[in-house]
Structure 1
Amino acid sequence: MRRFLRDNGLTLGFGTLFLGALIGQAFAGHADMNNKRLSNDLDAVGLGDYLTSSDFAVDVSENWQSEYLQFFLFVMATIWLIQRGSPESKRPSEVGLESDEKQRVGKHTRPDSPAWARAGGWRTALFSTSLGLTMGGLFLLCWLAQFVAGRAAHNGEQLSSFQDPLGAGEYLISADFWNRSLQNWQSEFLAIASMAILSVYLRQRGSPESKPVGAAHTVTEESG
């Protein structure tokens, strides 16, 4: 068990932080909703009702979709785009999909290589882009969840104000939907750009996201 915890510490650590933050958001969001309801002379709702509400669902899903979008774009963009001097970037000479030898596929696989890396054909092609496809698929699923929950929450506000609810097509082009999406997207794009350029000149000893402390600013890809 101790070895399992050590070998999976990064996933387990951030998984624990995720659950803690999600639980905290649930209680904070519940309190915030009830404060707003009471100020409008409405009855408070229970925690269970809040957790199954469109308000909670849209708040969660709009953050999830932006995070998966960040990783999807970062995984795909770093195939072709570089930042000289950043450990987050490939070397300029390695731009593109790289050779089979570099990627250890086909006849270049090793004894411990995944089976689909040596299988060839559609299986190797699919496995070769499985990370990008998965991240992109998770983004689309979360964005769809945001759309469904966001429309329900928005229409709830419309009805409470005695206004007509919006159809799916109307909500898709509404300011509410795109405001929820873009306010998260811009922060993710800023974070990626900041990490790419700051890691050229700044260091964090012992982190694989940083170059070695003594590495030259122009060194690209090397991590410490």
Structure 2
Amino acid sequence: MTRFLRENGLSLFFGTILVMALAGQAVAGLAEFNDQQLVAGLQPLTMRDYLLSSDFAVDVAENWQSEFLQFLLYIYATVWLLQRGSSESKELDRRGHESDQDQLVGPHATDRSPAWARAGGWRLAIYSRSLSIMMGSIFLLSWLAQSIAGRASYNAQQLSQYSDPVSWLGYVSSADFWSRTLQNWQSEFLAVAAMAVFAIYLRQRGSPESKPVGAPHDSTGLEG
């Protein structure tokens, strides 16, 4: 058990604080929602009903889709785009998909390489892009979930104000949908840009996200 915890500490840590953050969001969100219900003269919801509501779903989905979009763009952009001096960038002479030898695929694969890395054809083509495919798929599913839950929440508000509900296409072209979406996107893009630039000049000893403390500012692609 000790070995398992040590070797999986990063995923266990973030998985734990994810559950804690979701629980905190549910408690705070329910309190806010029920305050609004009481002001409007409506019945408050139980925790179970709130967790199954479109209001909770849209709040979760709109954050998830922006996070996975951030990683999708970051993964793909760092194949081709470089940042001199940043540990978040590849070395300046390694732009692009790199050679089969560098990537340990096909005849250059080792005995411990994944089976699809040793294969050729469509299996290697898919596996070579599997990370961005997965991130892109989760982003699209989260964005779809946001649009469906957001529409339900928006239409509930419309009906409470004796206004007409909107279709799904009407909602995804509405200001409400894009306001929710873009306020999350801009924060993710800011965070990535800040990390890429700060990593040129600032250090965190022992972190693979930082260069070694004594590395020159213009060293690119080094990990500490």
Using the size of structure 1 for normalisation, the TM-score is: 0.99
1:194 aligns with 2:205: no
State the alpha-carbon separation in 2 of the partners of residues 37 and 66 from structure 1: 29
State the alpha-carbon separation in 2 of the partners of residues 46 and 155 from structure 1: 21
Tell me the CA shift for residue 48 of structure 1: 0.8
Deviations 1:71-121 (A, max 9, x none): 000000000011111111011111101000000101111111111101111
State the alpha-carbon separation in 2 of the partners of residues 179 and 186 from structure 1: 11
What residue number does 1:24 align with? Answer: 24
Deviations 1:168-213 (A, max 9, x none): 1111110011111100000000000000000000000111100000
1:108 aligns with 2:108: yes
The number of equivalent residue pairs is 224
Q: SS at the partner of 1:94?
A: coil
State the alpha-carbon separation in 2 of the partners of residues 145 and 19 from structure 1: 20
What residue number does 2:99 align with? Answer: 99
- Share of identical aligned residues, percent? 60
Q: How does 1:122-201 map to 2 (within 5 A)?
A: 122-201=122-201
Q: SS at the partner of 1:32?
A: helix
Q: SS at the partner of 1:92?
A: coil
What residue number does 1:215 align with? Answer: 215
Q: RMSD of aligned C-alpha atoms?
A: 0.6
Q: How does 1:32-51 map to 2 (within 5 A)?
A: 32-51=32-51
Q: SS at the partner of 2:29?
A: helix
Using the size of structure 2 for normalisation, the TM-score is: 0.99
What residue number does 1:90 align with? Answer: 90
What residue number does 1:69 align with? Answer: 69
Deviates more, 1:40-49 or 1:164-173: 40-49
State the alpha-carbon separation in 1 of the partners of residues 36 and 43 from structure 2: 10
Tell me the CA shift for residue 60 of structure 1: 0.3
Q: SS at the partner of 1:93?
A: coil
Corresponding letter in the other structure for 2:188 = E
State the alpha-carbon separation in 1 of the partners of residues 17 and 221 from structure 2: 29
Structure 1: runs of 5+ lacking an equivalent: none
Corresponding letter in the other structure for 1:106 = G
Corresponding letter in the other structure for 1:141 = L
State the alpha-carbon separation in 2 of the partners of residues 89 and 68 from structure 1: 19
State the alpha-carbon separation in 1 of the partners of residues 114 and 217 from structure 2: 35
State the alpha-carbon separation in 2 of the partners of residues 68 and 49 from structure 1: 27
Corresponding letter in the other structure for 2:147 = F
State the alpha-carbon separation in 2 of the partners of residues 16 and 202 from structure 1: 28
Structure 2: runs of 5+ lacking an equivalent: none
State the alpha-carbon separation in 2 of the partners of residues 21 and 43 from structure 1: 26
Corresponding letter in the other structure for 1:159 = L
State the alpha-carbon separation in 1 of the partners of residues 111 and 49 from structure 2: 53
Q: SS at the partner of 2:223?
A: coil
